[in-house]
Structure 1
């Protein structure tokens, strides 16, 4: 069984790029400015799509290497929850009291304060009492958290499909992919009723990004039978751009294939510098967690008087600094607890073996 060569790929850089695209898109949205779009979707949504493609590919890789339910979910939980818990606490107990318009006592005893901690259980809560109520995008504390329950559901789906299907994992994954793509089409073009919410997450929003996880999973399952070529990736990008202007009704079908193909082609064709991007750590998850509250805080203290460029730059720098702390103080330490890992394994030069601390279970 082939596996991802941790030393000869661009996964770390692409994760960083995806996080930056989210920052870029949210910087415009939170300032009330027009949002850059690509292939019919906001640039921030494109970043989320890339994250889901990578996750589908690498989580399937993780299952194929170690198809045991308990270790699988322990690894997933160690990756998601420790950093999320700390982020939620910082937002509620540090940022909130500083910027709330309420008296401190009223803030802490407000039901909305306790409600915010449901984010730890992957039940999205976006506001805190009196926080950011004068911002251009009012009340939202961390709008990025909506994708985490969708992500974790996809993790569960990989395990469920593998257990149910036995040796027919590819067929069952294809069926699941058709179902989520169909759900996306239904919500996008046919459903006009009230919003459907499942476990505090909008079904339509979830359906819009889940296809990219499952297509990424399929690419891993057929890795030895397909060729990821740069020239084909360029042709697909150009063809999708033409579809956007000529046949926009077909755009979703194109992006389901084009975004995963281009993303994984770029990831698996190592570039000399980009393949070393993650040598200091994987900061993408921390950037994703902290960028939104950082943006809202900057806008709050600037009294809604920030340019897009300044907000985007400052957010990238500050969220990267927070992500560095999150990785070295929380995420890496948690990942060293993964089953089968030894915290004493090191490589030459005194650094930790990246197979121990990598964020996405790349091969041992």
Structure 2
């Protein structure tokens, strides 16, 4: 069974997988938010610090993103239409969450007088998050939490995601998505990743965090471009799952995740029985959950005196984040579809 034979239409399990990934992000974040460090996070501990459940979940988003965005680019073949669709999807919910954080969350959790909070430049500078200029702090907010001052630490992936959209468009314009040119595309991409890694090691450490999600996005693109060649089978999927477990145990998950995880995800997303194909078809709330989860977790932690057991934080935050994701869909995402 070839991948191209099972990816047409929307009869798949992607929404469920993305929903689970969004929940995993909250679970993973509960460790630094509750204790100040992610050292106790189960996957971080088992993998020897190579990767946590949050990073794994981000890989899920980017692999499927690369596949679907490449599909969109080659379907519309027009930059204006392509970027309009991307911007409508990503920016309105982001702006909504940034505004709510600054003017609803902030006043309740700041330790400053309200007059000082509302006249502080930092309050309004936080709104730059709505255009992906990352601002982690609001004046006086969460300063007594053990993970001090950070309002929404999950937003860092969004500029990376948008850069991946640009990368896909540039590759299309340069005809690097054509099968005959893909060998050059892969070489150029690999050289670019090496360059980014060098910059990371030479004093710009933040750019290093871009590599894993960007590589996953590119792998997702390759799965789309080679879908007529990729065979899907339960035996190969089982081998991929075993490979992930073994790689974790021997300390090479950080490298082998690029080989095993994408295949397993596409098998689970498309090749398994579509029992959950209807999940999220009308209300796809994983993006809203992702955006709202971190500030909700910080609010809960503040209510518990600034630090708490991670599992308690996650258990309390997950239903609230699901509710927030639904509200974001209801108030922002759904109206834009009409």
- 2:21–2:58 contact (8 Å) kept in structure 1: yes
Instruction: State how many pairs are aligned.
Output: 326
Kindly indicate whether residue 216 of structure 2 is the aligned counterpart of residue 206 of structure 1: no
Look up the match of 2:317: 315
Of stretches 34-43 and 84-93 in structure 1, the one that deviates more from structure 2 is 34-43
Q: Deviations over 1:86-136 (max 9, x none)?
A: 000000010001110011111122121122111112111111000000111
> What is the RMSD of the two structures over their aligned residues, measured on CA atoms?
2.1
| Cα separation, 2, equivalents of 1:320 and 1:8 | 23
SS in structure 2 opposite 1:73?
helix
Kindly indicate whether residue 18 of structure 2 is the aligned counterpart of residue 15 of structure 1: yes
| Cα separation, 1, equivalents of 2:282 and 2:246 | 39
Q: Which of residues 148, 157, 161 in structure 1 aligns to 2:171?
A: 161
| Cα separation, 2, equivalents of 1:275 and 1:176 | 37
- 1:88–1:117 contact (8 Å) kept in structure 2: yes
- 2:244–2:261 contact (8 Å) kept in structure 1: no
Q: Displacement of 1:327 after TM fit?
A: 0.9
Q: Displacement of 1:261 after TM fit?
A: 1.2
Kindly indicate whether residue 248 of structure 2 is the aligned counterpart of residue 283 of structure 1: no
Which runs of 5 or more residues in structure 1 are unaligned?
A: 197-201, 337-342, 344-364
TM-score (norm 2): 0.90
Q: Deviations over 1:133-192 (max 9, x none)?
A: 0111000000000000000000000000000126356345423442355357657xxx64
Look up the match of 1:215: 219
Look up the match of 1:340: none
Look up the match of 2:85: 75
SS in structure 2 opposite 1:275?
coil
Q: Displacement of 1:84 after TM fit?
A: 0.5
Look up the match of 1:354: none
Q: Which of residues 182, 185, 194 in structure 2 aligns to 1:170?
A: 182
Change (3 A) 1:68 1:192: closer
Kindly indicate whether residue 54 of structure 2 is the aligned counterpart of residue 25 of structure 1: no
TM-score (norm 1): 0.84
- 2:146–2:307 contact (8 Å) kept in structure 1: no
* 1:55-66 correspondence to structure 2 within 5 Å: 55-66=65-76
